[in-house]
Chains A and B, each alone.
Chain A
Amino acid sequence: MDTVNREPAERLALLIDLERCTGCKSCEAACKQEHGLGPGEYRNKVVWASALEEEGLAFLTLTCQHCERPACLRACPVNPKAITKDAVTGIVRVDESRCTGCGECVIACPYSAMGYDPKGHHAVKCNLCEERRAEGAATTACASVCPTQAIRFGKRTELLAEAAAEGRAPRDQDHFLLGPATIYLERLPSLDAATTGRIPARIQPQDTRRPVFMDARDSQATVMKSVPAFPYGSPREEVTADRVVPGGCNICFNCCSVNFHFKGDELVRITGNDNDPLLKGRVCAKSQLTLQLYHSEHRLRHPLKRVGARGENRFERISWDQALDEIAEKLKKVRDDYGPEALAMFIGTRTGTLDGRGYTRLFAQMWGTPNKDGTDPFCGAAKSVAFELTQGRVGSGNSYTPGDIGSASLYVYIGDNQAETRPVYFGMVNDWRIRNNAKMVAVDPRLTVTASKADRWLAIRSGTDMALGLAMCQHILRNNLHDARFCSDWILGFEKWRDFILERGYTPEWAEPITGIPAAETRRLAEEIAAADGCVIFASRGINQHTNGTQTNRVLMFLAAITGNWGRRGGAYFNMTHGSPIRANAPQHRRAKINRQKVRRSPAGWTDAMLHGKPYPLRALIACNNPLAQWPGQDKVRAAFEALDLLVHIELFPNETSAYADYVLPAATGIEKGEIGRSNDDRRIVWIDKMIEPPGEAKADGWIWIELGKRLGFEDVLQERYKDTQVFWDEACIGSPLIRGCTQERLHSVPWRWVRHPVASEDAPEIETLYLEGTTAPGAPPGHRFPTASGKLEFWTDEIESKFQVLGLSALPEFYSEREQLVDLPYLEFEHNDSDAGVISPFYEPATGTSRARIVSPAEAGCGAQLRAQGFDTQLLTGRPSAAHFHSMTHYLWQAEEMWPDLFCQIHPDKATALGISDGEKVHIETDHGAIDAVAWINTGIRPDAVFVPIGWGERQPYHPWRSVNFLTDKTQRDPVSDQTNLKSLLCRVSRAAN
């Protein structure tokens, strides 16, 4: 640094590590909470950037540099100045009471790190949380929450010494001799930098392009118009907490422990829980943004009854009694006319695990319908089936601890953008990678945030991960790179499967034209996995959301197993959440008899029954999420909902489904009702107490089901006292020996409010790594290392084979892909459609209909070829947008919309240029199933033949309404085993949108 003033001895600073930062914007959320900043008002901001020439992403956390020669201070025309610099700490602060709002400091700061309150008309800026630290906090708000530990706070000299000790170099950014204090650490080079391969560029924040859509003026103006509800904008003394209650975040699958801060009865802040020994106070933006959920002006507050036509969104306010009485009467009529199975229940994860596996499970058992399901068939059903077949139980037995996942030498992400879907877990993995010099490889059609941190990126064609897995297995087996002892001792059906793989000729060369990955890269990755002293393979929706989802999961599981990466520390196959064995059950004698099969596992397969009454009529639906944005093939879903006799919607916010509903019931969430967090990778059950009352007349989902149950005579099972979720948990939900010890008392005995299962009793110790050699799997017979019938991992058995054959398939995973592909690949042809009863799936209880299928060779006149001939020349990928958003819930929160406003379409510059599309321009995306518009995000981090459009946006959202991406998807493309829908590989065409 070429400074010209002497540095204060006690100079304080932030250190921002560009290698760790994932652009999640948690620091932005923390800053706005801490300082009560409203829309458009910043003290820090995370900038995303990329280059048109290089594949890579850069994230720059921009905040005040606390310069030695602050240009802002010198520009201030007030005398004495409204901006001052502390002679000891070097902190540059603004005295808002003296600021006249002229904006000269904003113009003068070359780092553009001077904020401005557009409503209060004054400068705002980072003061390194002086007030917060004066209250006793050790660090700044941004540093306290950072999921990746990218931000550190301290004395500048000490931070520089720390960096030097870690062998890290600070960037020189004192180009204008201002003497900035903030330290940015340079990115590390890829471990593969000296070799061939596709290395994500270590893009520097300068000279790069920022996505136009993120900061588009009109989009931001929409957010600016909103008046942020309490506590934002309130004077600090009015929102300084006097008590803290530990709990958890109820939004995503990271399940972070959080602290809820109260002043009196008012919730004033949400932070991470520093006492948590695992997460150590780290949380992403979402956990913090729930503060806006609890005070949102957009929440549903009263029961509503439709008075207009479906979709017209005209309602009258009614009482709870009227709503529940009328719904009960209409349900009885449906039951009388069509049978109890005519009621479908879609219980999305928004409602919480207690609802999905507790209250509604009891209700369905008492009522007598098998047609109850949640979002799993859209998200993770494929991996669940694959885990159950292979391991006998869903989920990895490993933990996010330094001794387990933290000890791996190789991390391979296949179809898993963990950095944005479980940001805190990724922060931990990324930290271990940096500390241990471990390698990271990402396999994904997109250069995701996860891939941007990897040493190598393999840009695979979507839907062909199975081919990659098969080719890697073939290479390992052919070259005897596998762990022969593990295979012989702990795998059932290994030889049968090995012979199949070797016979089929699934070589890396065979896979190359399918996956688009050079054979040498496939071999290299296979050899790295086989040689690694601990390799963790992460997979997720990119693997699950395909018609080959189950088989691809199995292949990748087999890959992990034959390389010895199963049942060891630092070696694992992960696929998103573990699943928790929570099941509430009504007494057998009280359950209604179910006379008919479940129409289909996936709710996407219910629409024919609603529309055409086949295989039998579904006439009523109680929906607790937003199927009119979420279910694939939206045109047909809407037609199906039009045809229902009764549609009840239980929700937090009004959305598309509400507009079609006969009754809209306002729900409670999180600390308004008390529940557990979602199931997560790490087997942690996180308890969240009820702490506040829901807004208006909104009620907890459990309350609604119990009250409805009373009107149907279920009160002896859905008991009044179960409205207390703690009672319900202890008495009805933890019957399984795997979680019997996870009682309220135990959950409340630790200040972080979570317990890692399985725990058979209250005093049973938590197990860091399950299935280690020499151990018995919890709940399994003695000597059974794995919880399968054989005690071994099961690749192939007669029983598994016979199950697959019911569906016309084999347990030996033969390659096939999707029918809508840009190259001709084998795909599934189905014997039955959703109007048929089909065959009963051997993979599910209760009896569930599915279709038989057969793998067909690609033909010139095949579906893909026909679509390509019609100009559908691009592969459409869908998925989660960013760490700040989770499905539709966050789209009602002003700050999430400020961070990620509009529905975007990520498109490669080559394709954009060819189509004459510029960044930020509105584009039209069309598939054979429907069409939508979105805003172009031109970015090199995607295959040139593909575009990516995220989920979560809807037409009736308050800030940035867009048609859901599920107008483009197709409900008929489903995995016959898991019933999981293909949401990742559809053919589309893209054009500039008409004005």
Chain B
Amino acid sequence: MVRHDISDARLLALTGGAVAAIFAWFAVRPLLPEAWRVPGSPELYLTGIAGVALLLVPVAFVLMKRGGRSANPLGWFNAHVACSLAGMVLIAVHSGGFLRRPPALLLLALVALAVLGVWARVRGSRRMAATFSTKAPAFRVPDSATRDRLKQIIAEKRRLLQLLDPQAAEGTFSANLPHFIRHPRLAMAYRRLSREETLLLGTRQAVSAAQAWWRPLHMALAWLFVAGIAVHVITVTFFAGYVADGGPITWWHITAWGK
């Protein structure tokens, strides 16, 4: 079994490289031709497209990991790290140095995603390791109401599973992307029950908030970023005049609505 993991040192080097590249870009920006300083110039426009293309890799990672199509989830994970960092650099370049405009929030989200990811890998990993043997709940007897509710949840999950995936066993099943695509309502209902069971087990509460919530936060930020990108693309394409705010429109657009 071979694991091609990105070591802490390599991850820090990659991140450091990306940060250095961004700072270098800002440092040399005044010396560059004007096209590299004007938002929406063809050069920066293409840079933005390249950045987004790279940032599609993390999206693909999510789909491949959850969709049951990947033989090498770790490879996709590594690609998501590398492409995210490279994409972040290109998006920073794409910003043209205009950081007081709303789109800069997207760059901020990217930076936050990177910081969170690096923290999770370098520091959070130690907390994950140190979690071993630290939880007491399983050795405590819960109140009878909790136990009764757990029995109900399990029974309800089994009932749902007959409809959702009849071949699956409840004890080893969790709803994944294909289930959500095929039976969204059933999958959502199943997910709700699973979450309630987890809540009753108290396992997420038994670890530190940072350890418990970094990943949900990472995912939420990523979705926010995706949503932000969509908004950005729509506005620059369909509301170019509004975005240009009286200035020249140097990028490809459908209409200059908003001028």
Which A residues are within 8 Å of any B CB, using their own CB? Answer: 2, 4-5, 40-42, 45, 47, 60, 62, 67-71, 73-80, 82, 85, 95-104, 106-122, 173, 175-179, 204-207, 215, 217, 220-221, 224
Contact = CB atoms under 8 A, between A and B. Distances in A.
Nearest to A110: B138
B142 interface: yes
B5 interface: yes
Given A97-B2, A116-B128, A118-B129, A175 B141 contact: yes
B151 A177 contact: yes
Contact of B207 (A107, A122, A179): A107
A118 B132 CA distance: 12
Interface stretch (B16-24, B64-72, B234-242): B64-72
B255 interface: no
B162 interface: no
Interface in B102-119: none
5 contacts: A67-B171, A68-B171, A115-B132, A116-B129, A206-B136
B138 A77 contact: no
Interface string B51-85: 00000000000000111100011101100000000
Nearest to A208: B136
Contacts of A106: 128, 131-132, 207
Interface stretch (B32-40, B196-204, B243-251): B196-204
Contacts of B215: 102-104
Contacts of B133: 42, 45, 47, 60, 62, 112-113
A215 B134 contact: yes
Given A121-B125, A175-B140, 6 more contacts: A40-B129, A47-B133, A74-B172, A97-B72, A106-B131, A122-B5
Interface stretch (B87-95, B173-181, B224-232): B173-181
A391 B202 CA distance: 63
Contacts of B174: 74-76
- Across the A-B interface, the 5 shortest Cβ-Cβ residue pairs: A69-B171, A206-B139, A112-B135, A110-B138, A116-B128
A42 B132 contact: yes
Given A77-B66, A108-B203, A176 B131 contact: no
A177 B191 CA distance: 18
B43 interface: no
Contact of B68 (A42, A79, A205): A79
Contacts, number: 181
Contacts of A204: 139
A40 B140 contact: no
Nearest to A3: B171
B258 to A, nearest CB: 41
Contact of A176 (B134, B201, B204): B201
A103 B204 CA distance: 11
B125 A80 contact: no
A75 B1 CA distance: 23
B138 A176 contact: yes
B130 A215 contact: yes
B187 to A, nearest CB: 13
Interface string B129-163: 11111111111111000010011001000000000
B124 interface: yes
Contacts of A95: 1
Contacts of A102: 215
A42 B137 contact: no
Given A107-B211, A207-B140, A177 B154 contact: yes
A892 B121 CA distance: 29
B135 A110 contact: yes
B202 A110 contact: yes
Nearest to A112: B135
Nearest to A174: B138
B73 A78 contact: yes
B170 interface: yes
Contact of A80 (B68, B128, B198): B68
B7 interface: yes
Given A78-B65, A177-B150, A113 B171 contact: no
Contacts of B5: 101, 120-122
Contact of A99 (B74, B177, B178): B74
A183 B154 CA distance: 23
A14 to B, nearest CB: 15
A892 to B, nearest CB: 23
B110 to A, nearest CB: 20
B212 to A, nearest CB: 6
Contacts of B140: 175, 206-207
Given A85-B172, A177-B150, A205 B8 contact: no
Interface residues of B, number: 61
Contact of B132 (A73, A107, A114, A206): A114
A899 to B, nearest CB: 12
B201 to A, nearest CB: 5
A74 B173 contact: yes
A100 B211 contact: no
A179 B171 contact: yes
B171 A70 contact: yes
A113 B134 CA distance: 9
Nearest to A115: B132
A352 B126 CA distance: 39
Contacts of B128: 103, 106, 116, 118
B101 interface: no
A129 B8 CA distance: 29
Contact of A118 (B125, B151, B176): B125
A556 to B, nearest CB: 40
A130 B157 CA distance: 32
B100 interface: no
Contacts of A68: 171
Contacts of B125: 101, 103, 116-119, 121
Contacts of B136: 206-207
A42 B129 contact: yes
B129 A41 contact: yes
A77 B140 CA distance: 28
Given A79-B68, A103-B124, A110 B212 contact: no
A79 B201 contact: no
B8 A112 contact: no
Contacts of B139: 60, 111, 173, 175, 204-206
B182 interface: no
A984 to B, nearest CB: 33
Q: Which of B76, B138, B207 has the most CB of A within 10 A?
A: B138
A96 B2 CA distance: 9
Given A45-B133, A110-B203, A176-B150, A69 B177 contact: no
Contacts of A45: 132-133
A813 to B, nearest CB: 48
Contacts of A47: 133
B126 A175 contact: no
A78 B126 CA distance: 22
B169 interface: yes
Contacts of A67: 171
Contacts of B207: 106-107
Contacts of A41: 129
A106 to B, nearest CB: 5
Contacts of B170: 4-5, 69
Q: Which of B6, B125, B139, B154 has the most CB of A within 10 A?
A: B139
Contacts of B121: 101, 121
A740 to B, nearest CB: 51
B200 A98 contact: no
Nearest to B77: A100
A109 B203 CA distance: 7
A870 B122 CA distance: 51
Contacts of A176: 137-138, 142, 150, 200-201
B6 to A, nearest CB: 8
Given A69-B170, A107-B212, A97 B129 contact: no
A792 to B, nearest CB: 55
A627 B85 CA distance: 56
Q: Which of B2, B126, B151, B171 has the most CB of A within 10 A?
A: B171
